[in-house]
Each structure stands twice: as structure tokens, then as C-alpha cells.
Structure 1
Amino acid sequence: MKILYSLVAVSILFVAVSCNSKAEKKEEELKKTAVKVVPELRLSIDSSKIAAFYQAYPKLDKFQSDVLALYKKNKSTQLWLDNKGVVEFGSTLFNKYKGLDQEGLKANFPYNEKINPIFDHNIDNKLSQVDTDLMITNLYFYYVQKVSGVDEKTTKSLEWLLPRKKVNYQVFSDSIYKKATISDDKKSKMFSQYYKLRDALHQYREIEKKGGWKNIEVGEDFKSFKKGDSAVAVGQIRERLYITGDLKEDNKSNVCDSLLISAAKNYEEHHGLTPKNIILPQHIAEMNIPVSDRIKTIIANMERCRWIDPALEKGTEYIEVNIPEFRLYLIRDHQIAFVSPVVVGKAMTKTVIFSGMMNNIVFSPYWNVPTSIINKEIKPGMAKNKNYLAQKNLEWNNGAVRQLPGKNNSLGLVKFLFPNSNNIYLHDTPAKSLFERESRAFSHGCVRVGKPRELAIELLKQDPSWTPARIDKAMHAGKENWVSLKKKVPVYIGYFTAWVDRKGNLNFYKDVYQRDESLVKLLTEE
């Protein structure tokens, strides 16, 4: 009996131990499979830590005030890190930064050796979490600054006085909280020309990758190629025009035919040259400009586009003058309403890059002679000839000199005023032959208009009482007549040596004031 009780006791004990063992095992398994609750990462990034960061990384000091404001807005906690590491938006930022080359910019963050390991899992990131977050924030401001263009102080030193697009870091920083994508899909952040030039940059870099184009070889005594001429250089021209799409097919022929002449004329039209039925040495010289130089020109003009406020092109009516193109456009309701050739300032008396609001048209204007011309020309002329003023149609006017209205007046028969400190305006001219030249930099700074009558008619459509007949009469009245526009018209005088027109054609123009090289140097040295 005792043995029976003992066996029962052992059995009960075994079952108890066995059950306990299973329970413990189950509990162990539950512990293994349980999700660990990790506290949310909350780094304290206050002003003292930010100050210490800039002590260690002084090349980023220019962003300090913006960084302080941003962290203060975020309650002095991290922006880019969570429990898993860098948030997706941070990786998007880094990829955009690494893609700056696609925007014609150098990705040369001052501390590349520190920023790269943060995103490259094959390299050990030795920064603390606080410094990691701060380094990404500085990359953010660096990226925004780069894609917004060089600062306004620099553009003014480059004599660019058009209104600058303001860099609004607040708008950009808000996207951090919204976890938005740094993107230009809506194409509303930049002047629209920027995106067109960016596409052209990609196209020309592809051409460069394939070897660019060969030099067209002609002898020193070369005069021209016309239809029917045969030469090895003709085949080289054909190949050259095919590469840039001016010629749709390269049949390898060395005979100059109508298709080649037509393609050459298309090329000339988009390179600031007068299209002709023959191919001249200057046309070949233009074609021989290396693709690498064309790429630099595109990059320089992309940078200029970064400075333009996109709101400019939203206006219902405005005038734009492109100095290197020697052309004026009147834009109305987002369409080109009027085009005119213009003459701009010589290299020594450059036309200023700026804007103003046109408020008056002056028919049969006087020309108030500048003091410099009075001293250099008029006074010596008067000393030699007592009838000098009368012969030049000049008169004294309160201690100054002015030229009387008339067809020989230096301002022609009409001028268009938009008050500015540069004393620049648009006007007619008696020297009509200058508009027939390809390069038209001859003035003392003002812009001479090739079709002044037609421009006056377009601008005065605001006022039906100013008919073309009345305008003609006022232009030839010989008496100055000021007319106020019912609505002021913005005037923008710009400088673009590369421009994609509304038909999608890329145009190149001569750098008449030699501004591209210094800008490219600035962009590549930063």
C-alpha cells in the first residue's frame, strides 16, 4: 500500500514538474516572440549643442541662424532621425544632393567626408546622433541655397539688377514636417526656362558622351559653299548638323544640296546668324565651337534662370529684351504679341540688366544731350564753328543742350519711358541700317527699337483714341507730345546667351559683354 502511495506521489510530482516545465518553456517562447517596446527617439538639440557643432564645422557657419530657428520650431528635437536611423525624407534629400550635377551644379558640400558615411552603410558613421542630425540639416540648407542660385550680393556684383527670386527657407523647411518629396514635378518653383535648359543640358551631355562633333576642316582661302559644290568639308558639315538635329538624316554625301542648305539656314537662325543660301566661314566657325563650351553656356544660363522670380511670366502684359539676342518681345496673355530687332549698348557702354515700369510714350521727343558729350564734342565744335548748334539742330536749354524734335533727332520720332536711375529707355533712331547687322551693340546704353511705330501701336491698344493715323501724326508733328499709358507695362532687360524658344528650339547667342566665363568660373569654384 505504501508502495502504491509512493508511486502515486511520484507520478503527481512528475506531472507537476512536467507541467511546470512546459509552462516555463511556453513562457520562455513568449518572451522570445514578444515585440520589444522601444521609447521614441528624442534627441535634445539646443542652442549650446548647435554652437558646439559650428565650432567643429566652421565652413557651415553661414547657416547657423537658420538652423537655430528651425530646431527651435521643432522644440529642440531631431529632424532627420528616428529609431530606425535616417528617415526617408533625409535619404531623398541626399539623393537630390548627389544629383546636383544634373542641374548643372557641383555637389561639393564642405564636409563631404562627414555626410557620405551617414547614408553609405558600407562606411562607418563616426558622428554622434546629434551631430548627424545637424549635419543633415546643414546639407538641407546647402542644397536649397545651391538650387536657388548664388546670393543677391553676388548677382549685383555681376551687374544683374533684375528682381531676384527670394529664397524662402521657411517654405522649404515646412516640407520636413510634412515629409514631402523634394521635387519639381509641378514645375512651379523655378522660371520655366530653367527646365527647358536643363533638358538641353542632358541632351548635350549625351552628345558629349558619344564623342561630340568633329572639327570641320576648310582651307584659309575658303570663301563659301553653295548648292552643287563638292568637298570633304561638306560631308563634315552634314555630319555636324545631323548630330544636333538640324539635319534629320545624314546620307554621307560630300555634295552640297538643298537639304543641307536648308539645315544650315535652320542652324544659323538659332545661333544669332542671318540665314543665307550659302555656307560662310563664320557659319563653320560657329559649328566648330566644342560641345563642352556649349554645355558651359547652358549651365551659365540655367544659373541666371535661378535668379528669376517665376511670378514674372504670370503677368498679362510685359516687354522683355534679351541683350545678346538683340531682340525685343511684347508678351500679352502669355503669347508673343510683337517682336522687334533692337540695338543695345557697346561693350564700353553696356545696356544695364534691370527692370522698370513703362508709363509714358513721348512722340517727337527732344534729346537731352549728356554732359559728357557736351564737354567732349559740342563745346569743342562750338569753339571752331559759331553755327555749330544750328547746323546740328541743337539749342541751349537752361544751361544744358538738347536736340530739337525731327527725323534726324538721335532718339528718332518716339521714345518709351520707364523711370529708372540708369537713365535707360527704349527709342527710335535715324540710323536704320544698323538693324540689318547680325551683331547690334552700338548704342551708349539705351535700347534702340527697329519697329518703334508698331510698338507704339501695340502699347496704345489700351487707348482706342490713339489710332495708327493719330500715332503717325504725333510722330511727325515736330512738337514733343507726352502720352501716359492707361496701364503701366513692366519692362525686363535680361542677358541670356542660351534660350529655348516657344517652339522648343535651343538658341545660342554671342556673349557680347563676356559675362559667361566669369559666371561659369564662379559656379565651378564654389
Structure 2
Amino acid sequence: MRVPLRFTYRFLLLVMLGLTAACTPLQPGVSAMDEPPSRALSEFEQLMKRLGSPLVLPSGKAILVNVPAYELVAFEDGVPVMRSRIIVGSPRNPTPLVDTHVSRVTFRPTWRPTPDMIEFENYEDKVWPPGRNNPLGLAAVRLDPGMLVYLHDTNQRGLFARDGRALSHGCIRVQRWDELIAWIVERDLDWVRAMAETPPSKEVQAPAIPVLIRYLRVFPAADGTVYKHHDIYGLEPEPDQARTSSRGL
């Protein structure tokens, strides 16, 4: 669930130009990867600062995974160049909020369930062969350090039509996986799809593009509308909920 806030990108640009009242101030807690880049802040970064969710992206290419928005955004020098719907970890198996980077791309990956999935979820203890029926789909972007969390295709693409997409065991399923990989390795879509469709399995080294996995509930959509997204992991209780919780301690 997402709730549109009563302002848009155009309004926030006026704020940044000093033509209306200022918005929420900067909040503490910026990670080490949010060091000022060797360039001026992009309009997107200025917008996030005004929203009270400072996000300073590395120069060059970067990938932002915004968990509560169920969205991946690819950036070049702080400017969004591609967006994709994603499926993230469930509340029971949350996607870790980490800074990492791309290491390689696996085309036609195999997959084996984790011991917990075998023990508690009745998965068969076997290696799933490559192909469209593989849970990782036709390709996976490996992260380093990744803690077995990938950006990958899926064999359940119909789930991208859902509004609530906290459905995975922690990995990040990407609807536009082929376009993302083409952007990462700087090849065309035909090449990516041929690699994914044609046996055998293949590993391709990729540039170490930074990947920031974040929990930004207030976030602008592609059209500039700013939404407040549902707190799917219960990390940011509303003030009334926080007071209730503290009384119960």
C-alpha cells in the first residue's frame, strides 16, 4: 500500500529554489556509502534531502533497491535512467539492508534450497536445473558481499502484478532483469536474451557497480508523485504505535 503525499516533484523543485517553505530537515544516520560524491547533487538527490531521507549516490553507475517501494532504480551520476518493479523478502525472511556491489552475472543459473527451506518449508533437497522453471529464472546478478542475496529473474513473473510484493526468501526478483543486465554489462538486449535462452550456463564478470539496499518509505515515483509506502517490516512504527510499545516494555 502506498499513500500519495500532498506535493509533487514540481512543488519540491520550488522548495529547492527557495520559492516556498522548506521541507523536513536532514536526518542523521547516513551510511558510509553516502559520502558526498565528487559532483554536485543531482535533482533526485536534492529531492530526497528535502524529503528528510538524504540519499547521496556514488558518482557513475549505481543501483538503488528500495524495499518498501518494491522498486529498483538504476542511476548514472545521481540521475535515474531505469526503474523496475521488484519482489523483496517477506517479513519472515527480510531482504538485508546493506551496501554491496555487483560482481558477476550468471546466465541460466542452477538453484538449491537452503537447509531452512528444506527443513521448515518442505522444499525437496535437490539442485534445480537451468531454465525457465528455475526459481532464479534465466539470469542472476551476483553481489559481493552478498550473503546469498541476488538480483534475479524468476519463474513466477505473474507476481509482479501484485501491489504487495514482500514474497521472497530475501533475494530481489527484478521484473526488467534483462534490461538491468544489459545496462550493467553494457551490451544490447538481444545479446542478453541470447545468453539467457541458449545453453549452457555461463558466468560473465561485471563492473563493481555499487548496490544500495535501502528502506525509504517516502519516495518519488517515476512521474514525480511522492508516496509514503507501507512499513512492511515494522521498522518505523507510527508515533501512537511507538508509545503503545514503550508502555508494554
TM-score w.r.t. the length of structure 2 is 0.74
Report the counterpart of residue 5 of structure 2 in structure 1. none
Letter in 2 for 1:149: P
The 1:164–1:467 alpha-carbon spacing in structure 2 relative to 1, beyond 3 Å, is closer
Alignment of 1:114-513 (within 5 A): 149=28, 163=32, 192-197=46-51, 302=52, 304-305=53-54, 308=55, 310=56, 313-376=57-120, 377-378=122-123, 401-420=126-145, 422-461=147-186, 466-485=187-206, 487-500=207-220, 504-513=224-233
User: Is the contact between residue 163 and residue 354 of structure 1 (CA under 8 Å) also seen in structure 2?
Assistant: no
Pick 1 or 2: higher relative contact order, CA cutoff 8 A, min separation 6: 2
How much has 1:488 moved relative to structure 2?
1.5
Deviates more, 1:334-343 or 1:370-379: 370-379
Gaps of 5+ in 2: 1-22
Letter in 2 for 1:361: V
Cα displacement string for residues 81-124 of structure 1 (whole angstroms, at most 9, x for unaligned residues): xxxxxxxxxxxxxxxxxxxxx856xxxxxxxxxxxxxxxxxxxx
Cα displacement string for residues 404-452 of structure 1 (whole angstroms, at most 9, x for unaligned residues): 1011000000000112253211000010110001111100000000111
Letter in 1 for 2:214: G
How much has 1:193 moved relative to structure 2?
4.1
User: Is the contact between residue 196 and residue 500 of structure 1 (CA under 8 Å) also seen in structure 2?
Assistant: no
SS at match of 1:347: coil
SS at match of 1:351: coil
The 1:164–1:328 alpha-carbon spacing in structure 2 relative to 1, beyond 3 Å, is closer
SS at match of 1:470: helix
- Output the CA distance in 1 between the equivalents of 2:33 and 2:183: 28
How much has 1:477 moved relative to structure 2?
2.2
SS at match of 1:453: helix
SS at match of 1:472: helix
Report the counterpart of residue 17 of structure 2 in structure 1. none
How much has 1:518 moved relative to structure 2?
7.0
Gaps of 5+ in 1: 1-101, 105-146, 153-161, 167-185, 198-301, 380-399
The 1:369–1:314 alpha-carbon spacing in structure 2 relative to 1, beyond 3 Å, is closer
User: Is the contact between residue 41 and residue 78 of structure 2 (CA under 8 Å) also seen in structure 1?
Assistant: no
Report the counterpart of residue 228 of structure 1 in structure 2. none
- Output the CA distance in 1 between the equivalents of 2:220 and 2:46: 10
Letter in 2 for 1:440: R
The 1:502–1:415 alpha-carbon spacing in structure 2 relative to 1, beyond 3 Å, is closer
Number of residue-to-residue matches in the alignment:
214
Q: When you count helix as a share of all residues, which structure comes out higher?
A: 1
SS at match of 2:127: strand
* Alpha-carbon RMSD: 3.0
Letter in 2 for 1:339: R
- Output the CA distance in 1 between the equivalents of 2:162 and 2:209: 29
TM-score w.r.t. the length of structure 1 is 0.37
- Mark the structure with the bigger radius of gyration: 1
Cα displacement string for residues 137-190 of structure 1 (whole angstroms, at most 9, x for unaligned residues): xxxxxxxxxx6625x9xxxxxxxxx53658xxxxxxxxxxxxxxxxxxx989xx
User: Is the contact between residue 108 and residue 202 of structure 2 (CA under 8 Å) also seen in structure 1?
Assistant: yes
SS at match of 1:372: helix
How much has 1:359 moved relative to structure 2?
1.8
